[in-house]
Amino acid sequence: MNPLLPEPPRPWLSLYPPGMPRALPAPQRSLDALFTDAAARYRDRPFLTFLRRRTSYGEAAALIGRAAAGFRRLGVGHDTRVALCLPNSPGAVLCYFAVLRAGGTVVNLNPLAAEQQIIGQIGDSGAEVAVTVDLQPMFGRIFGALRRTRLRHVVVCRMAQMLPFPQSLAFRIRERARLAALPDDERVCAFATLGADADAGDVAPAPHPSGVAVIQYTGGTTADPKGVLLSHANLCANVAQLRAWFTRAEPGAERFLAVLPFFHCFGMTAVMNLAVALGGELVILPRFRPVETLRTIERRRVTILVGVPALFHALTECPACTAAALASLKVCVSGGDSLPEALARRFVALTGVPLAEGYGLTECGPVVTCSNPLEGIERPGSCGVPLPGTDVAIMAAEAPHGVLPPGEIGEICVRGPQVMLGYWQRPEATREAFRDGWLHTGDLGRLDRDGFLYFVNRQPEVIAVRGYKVYARAVEEAIRQHPAVAEVAVVGVPDPARGEVPKACIVLRAGTTLAAEGLRVFLADKVSPIEMPRIVEFRASLPKSAFGKVLKHELGIGARSQPNPDTGRRQ
């Protein structure tokens, strides 16, 4: 520890509710043990519900045991990387825990990613086995990787077999053009037969908590994805922190809506793994559709909803969203991107359900801070306070990187048991991320005197206008106040005279119109001249990742103006 960096104060500890632990013991078990304990305790309780087909904890334990034995027969063992390229489904959950039980390391892949991205991450991770579904183009991409990477085997989950009858029959008819016929290739096998005749007792020794459980690639919305090494201890610690934080979550009684993708760190930890730790039921939806989501919440009496701002925005805009439809909810959490204050207020006013906001990143497994409105731990506009056992400090972005006082904007730095081991095969990036015992996140924020974190910007979103710093989020918050604006993203684009200028990409609410000059008049008393968008682009939609995060690097290319989707004007 650098002696010039004193231990930071922890004012947030005085705000913890009675009974909230200030720290947690270091996890001494694996994610497989997390599931094994839950299966033993809640054997007959529903675990997976997928389009009215239920699988109990006991049934899942048997399937995972057989699949783990099958993976072992394919050569999966200690340090074997297994790529999971799966949509949300029972197969995604079963394969995740089966790979870990076999002693392997999970490599999460986005099944909607482009072929080049998938091939690149399989190659970078050195995965030897991959799991996907029998839908094109997902299967085709993975099968093609057999001849371009180190892959030796491909395991295929048949979507129709995960559905109840008659949905399974309807699916085969409706999707027959997309269903892939498995080739006569010994390297390809169906998940259903993977461990059919294997010895379920043939599993690897229990992994050490410090061993790598998951290689999770960063989102890549602002830079090239890097493989984050998350250990069993990292992920178990983050789950334990969340379980302690949500004091009203009752073991053995909660139902989680699983619409966040499991292949993303937020969905993996705050939905799938947390549900297991609580003996909860995962009500799985393969994709997000507002009306279907609302009906599922109401019909299945979902109690915990974890989502991203785009999800909560879509729900509040849906005519079917009423307090009655969401009456079963107990805990709602938003993360993965900045939550606009107006959206939080609108959700609470519409539903009566408090909406917590958190801050995190893949490198932290991912949750670092969270508000807790159920316990009175909140402050509008903030991302809450650090979770038990976590330290957050704001440091100067320039050397000597000293700790800044409350209220000053600097780089968010984190210490805690959930912080990654490092980046896969990137020692220089790892050394750059860790300095003096702190993870330097690259994000900008500030702490108030009570320890509440206020997220300001991802570092790449700081726009340098004539040498002055413009924070994209501050401009976005101002633009969102206009009643015609449904969505907005602000990026910096090159300018020969100013270095960079702000560019606002806007999606309008249906039935509204807005001109660039009208927007600037509206913003005149809300932003400074250097913050005023020089370019305004009206779009039908914003490009987003599968996780709902705006892909800002796609918006910053070029400065062309787009027609207003409602008026046809070019701005």
pLDDT at 200: 61
Q: CA dist 433 to 125, 359, 363, 393, 399, Å?
A: 20, 18, 10, 15, 14
Over 60: is that where the pLDDT of 230 sits? yes
Q: What is the DSSP letter of 367?
A: E
3-state helix, strand and coil shares in percent for the chain, rounded to the nearest 5: 30, 25, 45
Strands 438-447 vs 434-435: parallel, antiparallel or unpaired: antiparallel
Q: Which of 215-229, 420-434, 449-463 shows the lowest per-residue confidence on average (mean pLDDT)?
A: 215-229
Tokens 């009306």: give the residue: 291
pLDDT at 221: 43
**What three-state secondary structure class fits 153?**
strand
Q: Which of 78-87, 201-210, 239-248 shows the lowest per-residue confidence on average (mean pLDDT)?
A: 201-210
Of 407, 494, 510, 481, nearest to 451 by C-alpha is 407
Do the Cβ atoms of 440 and 420 come closer than 8 Å? no
pLDDT at 168: 85
CATH annotation of 466-554: 3.30.300.30
Over 90: is that where the pLDDT of 199 sits? no
Q: Which of 38-47, 233-242, 284-293 shows the lowest per-residue confidence on average (mean pLDDT)?
A: 284-293
Q: In the chain, what are the domain boundaries?
A: 28-388, 466-554
CA distance 68 to 56: 18
pLDDT tens digits for range 95-107: 999 999 999 999 9
User: How many Cβ atoms are within 10 Å of 372's Cβ, its own excluded?
Assistant: 23
pLDDT tens digits for range 466-513: 667 788 888 999 999 999 999 999 999 888 777 789 999 999 999 999
**What three-state secondary structure class fits 120?**
helix
Q: CA dist 245 to 103, 261, 386, Å?
A: 30, 22, 10
Share the mean pLDDT of the chain: 89
Q: CA dist 419 to 16, 387, 410, 425, 488, Å?
A: 22, 12, 20, 17, 31
Residues 6+ apart with CB under 8 A from 316: 343, 346, 347, 350
Residues 6+ apart with CB under 8 A from 117: 110, 220, 225
Please tell me if the domain spanning 28-388 has the same topology as the one spanning 466-554.
no
Of 385, 336, 393, nearest to 361 by C-alpha is 336
Crossing angle for the helix pair 115-125 and 138-145, nearest 10 degrees? 40
Asked if the 28-388 domain carries CATH number 3.40.50.12780, the reply is yes
Do the Cβ atoms of 241 and 25 come closer than 8 Å? no
Do the Cβ atoms of 539 and 565 come closer than 8 Å? yes
Measure the N-to-C terminal CA separation of the chain; round to a whole number of Å: 53
Residues 295-318: b if buried by 16+ CB within 10 A, e if exposed: ebbbebebbbbbbbbbbbbbbeee
